[in-house]
Amino acid sequence: MLSVTGLRANVGDKEILRGLDLRIGPGEVHAIMGPNGSGKSTLAHVLSGREGYAVTGGTASFEGRDLLALEPEERAQLGLFLAFQYPVELPGVNNTYFLKSALNSIRKARGEDELDAVSFMRLIKEKLKVLHLDDSLLKRAVNAGFSGGEKKRNEIFQMALLEPKLAILDETDSGLDIDALRVVSEGVNALRSPERSMIVVTHYQRLLDYIEPDFVHVLYKGRIIRSGGKELALELEQHGYGWITDEGAAA
């Protein structure tokens, strides 16, 4: 599904990803943890095609395509989804209109029929229920004036609607209250399927209590320095990063 090898990326003169390897198979959930500034969001951005990063080495292929050669919208149309760490506000852009345009643009690129207003509204109501979101959100502008938690829930709601093949959730748990964390996790779990893979970026074990990962990776200074099963996250929770970064530094 996704295969990243030796990926290097700079912002300006600063090298942030420094030879990163990651392989994700269909239906797998991978958690990526790592201290602040280690490059987690950078990885998410580079994979989804954000401008401002210079890829200086390595490869990334997704569904057999050279991911790095594609425009951001082409990646989305191919089934890549990024739930933003900081969702962006679009003042005046109606949420329903935005979602419908996004969905239809993706459907069109896949050669599917565009959804008409009626079927779209039916679909959207269904997805709202899964995330316990109020439909007043639909009438508002995208993320504008949403609370931090609402923004994060809205990201997962978009994911539910767009049904990606690979979703990257960048700290979706931050800013969520205890109940919202449960609701969002249930939403994410409902979307788990043998065809859909996920990368879950988080700092905390508590999200992984809900969304059980198949693999856990530690990203440190632009590289994955340790990979393991879900028990790795528990160990990190107990010992902190020093435990492996020291070890990593020693190695």
Q: Which is nearer to ligand ATP, 11 or 54 (CB)?
A: 11
Kindly write out the interface string for residues 137-176 of this chain, putting x where it contacts other proteins by CB under 8 A and - elsewhere: ----x----------------x---x--------------
Q: Does 87 bind ligand ATP (CB under 6 A)?
A: no
Taking the C-alpha atoms of residue 198 and residue 220, their distance in angstroms, rounded to an integer, is 20
Choices 32-40, 122-130, 192-200, 204-212 (CB under 6 A): range interacting with ligand ATP? 32-40
Choices 34-42, 56-64, 139-147, 241-249 (CB under 6 A): range interacting with ligand ATP? 34-42
- In the complex, least distance from residue 213 CB atom to other proteins, rounded to whole angstroms: 23
Q: Does 48 bind Mg ion (CB under 5 A)?
A: no
- In the complex, least distance from residue 241 CB atom to ligand ATP, rounded to whole angstroms: 11
Q: Does 249 bind other proteins (CB under 8 A)?
A: no
Q: Does 40 bind ligand ATP (CB under 6 A)?
A: yes
Restricted to residues 23-42, the positions that interact with Mg ion (CB under 5 A) are 40-41
Among 9, 28, 42, 75, binds ligand ATP (CB under 6 A): 42
Taking the C-alpha atoms of residue 44 and residue 219, their distance in angstroms, rounded to an integer, is 12
Q: Write b or e for each residue in 207-234: b if 16 or more Cβ atoms lie within 10 A of its Cβ, otherwise e.
A: bbeebebebbbbbbbbbbbbeeebebbe
- Applying CB under 6 A, the site for ligand ATP has a residue count of 12
Site residues, Mg ion (CB under 5 A) = 40-41, 85
Interacting residues toward other proteins by CB under 8 A: 48-52, 71-73, 75-77, 81-82, 84, 87-88, 90-94, 97-98, 101-103, 105-106, 109, 141, 158, 162
